[in-house]
Amino acid sequence: MGLVVQKYGGSSVADAEGIKRVAKRIVEAKKNGHQVVAVVSAMGDTTDELIDLAEQVSPIPAGRELDMLLTAGERISMALLAMAIKNLGHEAQSFTGSQAGVITDSVHNKARIIDVTPGRIRESLDEGNIAIVAGFQGVSQDTKDITTLGRGGSDTTAVALAAALDAEVCEIYTDVDGVFTADPRVVKKARKIDWISFEDMLELAASGSKVLLHRCVEYARRYNIPIHVRSSFSGLQGTWVSSEPINQGDKQVEQAIISGVAHDTSEAKVTVVGVPDKPGEAAAIFRTIADAEINIDMVVQNVSAAATGLTDISFTLPKTEGRKAIDALEKNKGTIGFDSLRYDDQIGKISLVGAGMKTNPGVTADFFTALSDAGVNIELISTSEIRISVVTRKDDVPEAVRAVHTAFGLDSDSDEAVVYGGTGR
Ligand code: ASP
Ligand code: MG
């Protein structure tokens, strides 16, 4: 019986009842002979509420102070959880990210973990305690200031601790039963995936699937830490994310041709209209965007209209970066040379992900057929070895996701996708 790291999200510890339920589950694991480290998020929507509060006193809160404020959320849940466990007659100690040895760079609000030195956690475990760790936070190596890892960062804390402590598994407890073939909030007939490779999971996360953060999966793949995503409400087997299939009982788990359909409505499209069709133009546009520290997603340049010698270049980016991108391009309009800019935030992206598409030639055709049968118009297309993505009108997204899900035979016979909690905020 080895060491397990368990992570509980905000919806699992939303209130006192939730905290008591989670405490029982942790004690179960301990009774089964495991050493247990539990990483917790802030209760319910606490983080959002703290951000709202900060914005009431200052429209652009100072990064250092915002981090100090937000880390309070996880401190509340970790202390309450330790108390609840003690109340069940077991020993537990809570630790802040800094005490747990989560060392980061000094970029406030989206720090990266650069090292984990969990000496105190190890000691506490060796003394027989259950260790509770505040997720989503660390301490900067340079400034010694408290940092946070970006929204949803507790998953990354859990995987990083699992790697540093050489855990058997990192269990991520959430408000659904695992990773589904589509967002169960959109597709009632989404099916739970028993096993998925790190590669497919990374593509799903990059394509808008919210169940696991991209950074967390990246970390798990780098250190080869198997992740088990499951519900803290149901106790069912969830989804294993690992390099090789993990068999469940006598069930032979295999690589699926298609892992799932992801969607994302958080992006916008910028079109640079009337760009001279000559070398160096795309470079100038995307240098401008890069200098503004904006990450872009898809890019297309349409066929130049021969008569004018001009072309249009469109790209997608997070809506939150839209203003910045437009300002940066406008500022450099003279040097880049274009007619005008168009901004469209009513778009959505639908992606089909699966390693099997490398060896199954019909996948792309079937994908486009499903979209056309559903009457969905495609505006942009991009592909990787194991993914096809299209941009459509935002309003078409739910229908398109369902159509593609059905077309690839992913629908389950029953409505097995249960959403147990969370406000989806
Ligand atoms: N409480 C933080 C958030 O809501 C971190 C997390 O939940 O993982 O983003
Ligand atoms: Mg949260």
**Mean pLDDT, to the nearest integer, of 153-162?**
97
Classify strands 113-116 and 146-148 as parallel, antiparallel or unpaired.
Answer: unpaired
Residue 413 in this model has a pLDDT that exceeds 90: no
Tokens 């830490």 -> residue: 225
Quote the ligand 2 centre to 233 CA distance (angstroms).
Answer: 16
Domain-embedded: residue 49: yes
Nearest to 71 by CA among 91, 54, 96: 96
Domain-embedded: residue 321: no
Q: Which domain holds residue 177?
A: 3-254
Confidence bin at 313 (pLDDT 50/70/90): very high
Domain tally, the chain: 1
Q: Is the CB of 135 under 6 A from ligand 1?
A: yes
Q: For residue 43, count other CB atoms closer than 10 A to its CB.
A: 23
In percent, the amount of the chain with pLDDT more than 70 equals: 96
Map residue 23 onto helix, strand or coil.
helix
**Mean pLDDT, to the nearest integer, of 222-242?**
92
Atom of ligand 1 nearest to the CA of 151: 9
So what's the pLDDT on residue 422? 60
Residue type, 284: A
pTM to 2 decimal places: 0.90
Residue 250 in this model has a pLDDT that exceeds 70: no
Domain-embedded: residue 259: no
Domain-embedded: residue 232: yes
Nearest to 270 by CA among 236, 319, 227, 308: 319
Q: Is the CB of 354 under 6 A from ligand 1?
A: no
Domain-embedded: residue 304: no
Nearest to 105 by CA among 71, 165, 163, 146: 146
Q: Which DSSP letter does residue 358 get?
A: G
Q: What is the CATH number of the domain that holds 57?
A: 3.40.1160.10
List pLDDT tens digits, range 374-407: 999 999 999 999 999 999 999 999 999 999 999 9
Q: Is the CB of 152 under 6 A from ligand 1?
A: yes
In what helix (H) or strand (E) does residue 148 lie, and over which residues does it extend?
strand 146-148
The upper half-sphere exposure of residue 62, i.e. CA atoms within 13 Å in the direction of its Cβ, equals: 4
Map residue 86 onto helix, strand or coil.
helix
Domain-embedded: residue 101: yes
Minimum CA distance residue for ligand 1 atom 6: 152
Minimum CA distance residue for ligand 1 atom 8: 152
Quote the ligand 2 centre to 74 CA distance (angstroms).
Answer: 9
Joined together, the tokens standing for residue 33 give 């002979």
So what's the pLDDT on residue 419? 72
Question: How far apart are alpha carbons 260 and 285 in whole angstroms?
Answer: 34
Atom of ligand 1 nearest to the CA of 48: 4
The bound ligand whose nearest atom lies closest to the alpha carbon of 7 is: 1
Q: Is the CB of 216 under 6 A from ligand 1?
A: no
Quote the ligand 2 centre to 9 CA distance (angstroms).
Answer: 6
Question: How far apart are alpha carbons 270 and 267 in whole angstroms?
Answer: 10
Domain-embedded: residue 138: yes
Backbone phi, then psi, for 246, in 5-degree steps? -110, 120
Question: How far apart are alpha carbons 281 and 407 in whole angstroms?
Answer: 40
Q: Which residues contact 401 (CB under 8 A, 6 or more apart)?
A: 182, 183, 186, 187, 261, 263, 350
Q: Is the CB of 261 under 6 A from ligand 1?
A: no
First to last CA, the chain: 37
List pLDDT tens digits, range 41-82: 999 999 999 999 999 999 999 999 999 999 999 999 999 999
Atom of ligand 1 nearest to the CA of 157: 8
Atom of ligand 1 nearest to the CA of 42: 1
Domain-embedded: residue 349: no
Average pLDDT of the chain? 93
Q: Is the CB of 421 under 6 A from ligand 1?
A: no
Q: Is the CB of 97 under 6 A from ligand 1?
A: no
Quote the ligand 2 centre to 406 CA distance (angstroms).
Answer: 31
Q: Is the CB of 151 under 6 A from ligand 1?
A: yes
